[in-house]
A and B are shown apart, each in its own frame.
Chain A
């Protein structure tokens, strides 16, 4: 078989700047730091903040796969809710361990995400953004008002589902210490970023880049744009649904207002947009900056300031769109490049621009 990838990389390499491994070394160093943090940080609350950082980096990266195809999703919370509800219901009703339940949830999420997106992806224009927000809101309203769903599924309306507690039971994804969740969340983030990186390096990544910059030109070259948008959406939905199961197992409760609400969709999107959407590391950087801020704000300001966090998210979106259209990632990458300029030229290995 011909190796298309190296072929394409070589070609594209001619047009992009050669890239020193410095950026990769920095990413590796940060990842290593995350690996050893639990040995030094013991406070459960601090660990909780790190878990949330990884978790939103994971969700933002999954969300970003759709924006790589030039589409804006404002309803990813629906997929998160679908994943969480699936694994929790399977555990409650049939005693299936959430480790398997989350895979089932990912399949269900991927299928539903694909079905919802298909009609919009065939079209041009803002149809997907409209579909995603409408779907999420209608699903939330439905679950909030439905005690017993079709086929007798106990959706429990607005109260949500409580995961039956089993104490320290790794076999059913329940741990008493935060460290376990910490490493699971870190692994999830790592997997999502790796998937995103591999997709960007693959033929599909180039197709997505072509579709988002000029769909007509891409189609003229024979790219089936509906198919590749749909593939991105299905992978993104499945990952997000996986995140929903983690949410349920971490908080032991999943309810439509939080897990399917617009606020969650917006949080995911803000993390992605702020760090730099349509980039591999953007959502992770966005989450590292944004999540601790919002967690601390919630902890110290409490419920006294209803809506303040969403207001700040809204302002951040406006500011980023107006002044930093490529996100925080952009100036950071420029900084890395300037540092790279100081690295002796002989050490620079030509590699595709992965940012």
Chain B
């Protein structure tokens, strides 16, 4: 094994990690504000990927261009789901618990419905777009990176940066952060907590939809993709710290690098176990994650 192989695996891991980060940021934002793990995140991801695919298939809209359509569309979708389905549970249980298990369960049901509706209507086959950038590469000395993969890596930073600006520089962002810190105090200051939930959920879904539209040039679309990538994003958010957006970015990159470099030393299937072991170690020794904000 040469140094070059390791460096190459490391860079591939970085790109893969960018993908993991991009799909996890929205999940972390939603948890940070609403305190509910959105198990339907994978379902939203899969539907966004399908939307982007169909836009390409029927209207020949390039996946990268479809970002501007899929983003707003999924904001409305996420907002509506939170407003009509999850909000009633909060209103019903607000006196009882801070983190209602009912809401968690509801998102599980939602994910099942989304994944199986897709299976029912689209079938289980894999569908792929043909992107003009599929064979474009960026040269970095001795190694070449595929442009489409680099774009997703970049997307993770764009989403993080966008959220940073949104959360720090706008009134809505301030409302979201204050609800995330202390919902009672925020309500006392006159913030409409439930509306903030709707908005944050919508924004979290936009983040995952943007990630989906930007990775479909190299990941084929299928109904099962949500489940597979959803599990990865659960590991990422725990790794980085539930509710932390920079944590999701760093956690994703660490997971990608560990998987990629790890598979140089152990067979591919054992690398799956590796990511789970990492997850358990974090829970045992640093439960608030790398960039933990728990309890704050």
Contact = CB atoms under 8 A, between A and B. Distances in A.
A135 B85 contact: no
A134 B231 contact: yes
A23 to B, nearest CB: 26
A244 to B, nearest CB: 20
B116 A146 contact: no
A142 B273 contact: yes
A314 interface: yes
B120 A130 contact: no
A325 B105 CA distance: 11
B104 interface: yes
A130 B272 contact: no
B233 to A, nearest CB: 10
B234 interface: yes
A318 B110 contact: yes
Contact of A311 (B103, B112, B294): B112
Contacts of A35: none
B234 A318 contact: no
Contact of A138 (B119, B272, B284): B272
B116 A307 contact: yes
B37 A126 contact: yes
A130 B234 contact: yes
A141 B104 CA distance: 24
B101 interface: yes
Contact of A322 (B31, B35, B89, B273): B89
Contacts of B109: 313-318, 321
A310 B231 contact: no
A134 B124 contact: no
B39 to A, nearest CB: 8
Contact of A133 (B113, B119, B231): B231
Residue of B101, B104, B234, B273 ringed by the most chain A CB atoms within 10 A:
B101
A149 to B, nearest CB: 10
Given A307-B115, A311-B117, A127 B283 contact: yes
Nearest to B106: A321
Interface stretch (A117-125, A167-175, A196-204, A286-294): A117-125
B283 A311 contact: no
28 contacts: A70-B101, A74-B39, A125-B35, A125-B99, A125-B242, A126-B36, A126-B99, A126-B242, A127-B238, A131-B279, A131-B280, A133-B39, A133-B234, A141-B269, A142-B270, A145-B268, A145-B269, A213-B96, A305-B120, A307-B117, A314-B108, A314-B113, A317-B109, A318-B85, A318-B106, A318-B109, A321-B106, A325-B92
Interface of A: 70, 72, 74, 116, 119-120, 122-123, 125-127, 129-131, 133-135, 137-138, 141-142, 145-146, 213, 262, 266, 269, 273, 305-308, 310-311, 313-318, 321-322, 325
